[in-house]
Amino acid sequence: MKSYHIAHTDLVVSRIAYGCAGLGTWDNAALDANTVAAADRLIKTALDQGITLFDHADLYAFGKSEAVFGEVLKTSPAVREKIVLQSKCGQVFPKGWRPGDPIKVDLRGEHIVSAVEGSLKRLCSSYLDILMLHAPSPLIRPQEIAQAFEDLHRMGKVRYFGVSNYSAAQIKLLKKFVRQPLIVNQVHLGLLCADLLIDGMEFALALAKGAAPAREEHTAAGTFDYCRVQDMQIQAWSPLGADLFAVPTSRAPELNALVQSLTALAQLTNTTSAAVALAWLLHHPAGIVPIIGSTNSEHIVGNCAADRIMFRDEDWNDLFIAAADLSRRST
Ligand SMILES: NC(=O)c1ccc[n+]([C@@H]2O[C@H](COP(=O)([O-])OP(=O)(O)OC[C@H]3O[C@@H](n4cnc5c(N)ncnc54)[C@H](OP(=O)(O)O)[C@@H]3O)[C@@H](O)[C@H]2O)c1
C-alpha cells in the first residue's frame, strides 16, 4: 500500500485508512468474546492489506469500538507502535439516545480533556497520534479549545490535532488561537457525496457539458482548496456509502448511470465497483485518504485493490460529472 507523509508531522500513513465505527455493536450489551474475535480478524485483515491508519471516535458504538480495539491491542501490543491511531471527540449522545435522536456537540475544554482520557483508557494506549474535533459548534470558544489542546499535548496524551466536518472559515477561526498545526480535516466525500469537490467547479462542469457557463453560480466556500493550501490532509469518511450497493431498481437514474460507469471500469481493471470508487478519490492530486469501514474481510481486501488501479484523467472526469449530476438531483 502506498503511503503519505502528513505535513507538519513525523507521521507516515497508508493512503487508505480503516474506520473502526463498525467494530463494536451499537447496543447496550457488554463487550463479548465474539465481538473481540471478529474485530481481531478485521483489524488483522486491514493490517495485512498494508493499512496503518485507524480511525475512531469516542462515541462509536457508545465507546465499544474503541474498547474492542483496545482488547485487540492488549493481545497484540506490538501493533500499537506500527500504526497511527486517531480518534475524535465533541459529539455526545444524550442519555437514552436512539438512532434518529439529536446528537449534542460539546467542545468545552474540560469535555475535550476528559473525552480523550476516556478514549485512551478504552484503547489501552497512553497517547493518540491524532485527535480531531468531531463537529463544529455555533458556540465554539476557540481560546478554550486551544487551552485543552495545549494541556493534552503537554501531558503527552495527544501528538497532533485536526478537525472533522469543519469549513474553511471555521478552521481559520481555530487557527487564530490554537498553537499546534491543524493537520487533518475529515469530511464526507465520495462519488455519492462529492459536494466539496463540486464547490467552485460549476464553470468547469458547464464547459464539460458543452453548456454556457452559468453566471455567478458558484458557492465556493472553498473548504477543499483551503485544506490543500494549508497542507491539511483531507480524509474522506463513508467514501462508498451503502446507496452504491442498493438494488438497481430502487436507485435514481443518475445513480444507475454512475454505477454503470463504475461497473465498466471495474471490468476493465479486473476489480470491483467499490475499488474503482475508492481509486477515484485516490487519483485526486490532493492526496485524499478514504476511510473505509467495511465489516466484511473480503470487502476490505477487494476495496484495497483501489491502491493498484491506474486512473485516466478522462475517466475521472466522466465520474466527476456523473457525481455532480447525482448531487444536483439530491439538492
Ligand atoms: N467524521 C465523521 O463525521 C464520520 C462519520 C461517519 C463515518 N466516519 C468514519 O468513516 C468510516 C467508514 O464509514 P462507512 O462504514 O460508512 O464507510 P464505507 O466504506 O463507505 O462503507 C459503507 C457501506 O458500504 C458497504 N461496503 C463497503 N465495501 C463494500 C463492497 N466491496 N461491496 C459491498 N458493500 C460494501 C459496507 O458494508 P459491509 O460492512 O457489509 O462491507 C458499509 O455498509 C467509519 O468507520 C468512521 O471511522 C466518520
Whole-number pLDDT of residue 203: 83
Residue range 3-20, pLDDT digits in tens:
999 999 999 999 999 999
Told to judge if 4 belongs to the known catalytic residues of this protein, a careful annotator would answer no
Pocket test for ligand 1, best of 234, 238, 295 (most atoms within 8 A of CB): 238
Say how many Å lie between the CA of residue 12 and the centre of ligand 1: 23
Whole-number pLDDT of residue 213: 63
Per-residue pLDDT tens digits of the chain, which is 331 residues long: 999 999 999 999 999 999 999 999 999 899 999 999 999 999 999 999 999 999 999 999 999 999 999 999 999 999 999 999 999 999 999 998 998 999 999 999 999 999 999 999 999 999 999 999 999 999 999 999 999 999 999 999 999 999 999 999 999 999 999 999 999 999 999 999 999 999 988 888 888 888 766 655 555 589 999 999 999 999 999 999 888 887 777 778 999 999 999 999 999 999 999 999 999 999 999 999 999 999 999 999 999 999 999 999 999 999 999 999 998 877 5
Angle between helices 33-48 and 297-304 (to 10 degrees): 20
Whole-number pLDDT of residue 246: 77
Which listed residue (4, 18, 60, 166) is catalytic? 60
299 CB within 6 A, ligand 1: yes
For 251, residues 6+ apart whose C-beta sits below 8 A from its C-beta are 243, 259
Whole-number pLDDT of residue 265: 96
For 244, residues 6+ apart whose C-beta sits below 8 A from its C-beta are 191, 192, 255, 259, 262, 273, 274, 277
49 CB within 6 A, ligand 1: no
Whole-number pLDDT of residue 290: 98
- For the record, the C-alpha cell of 91 comes out as 459529539
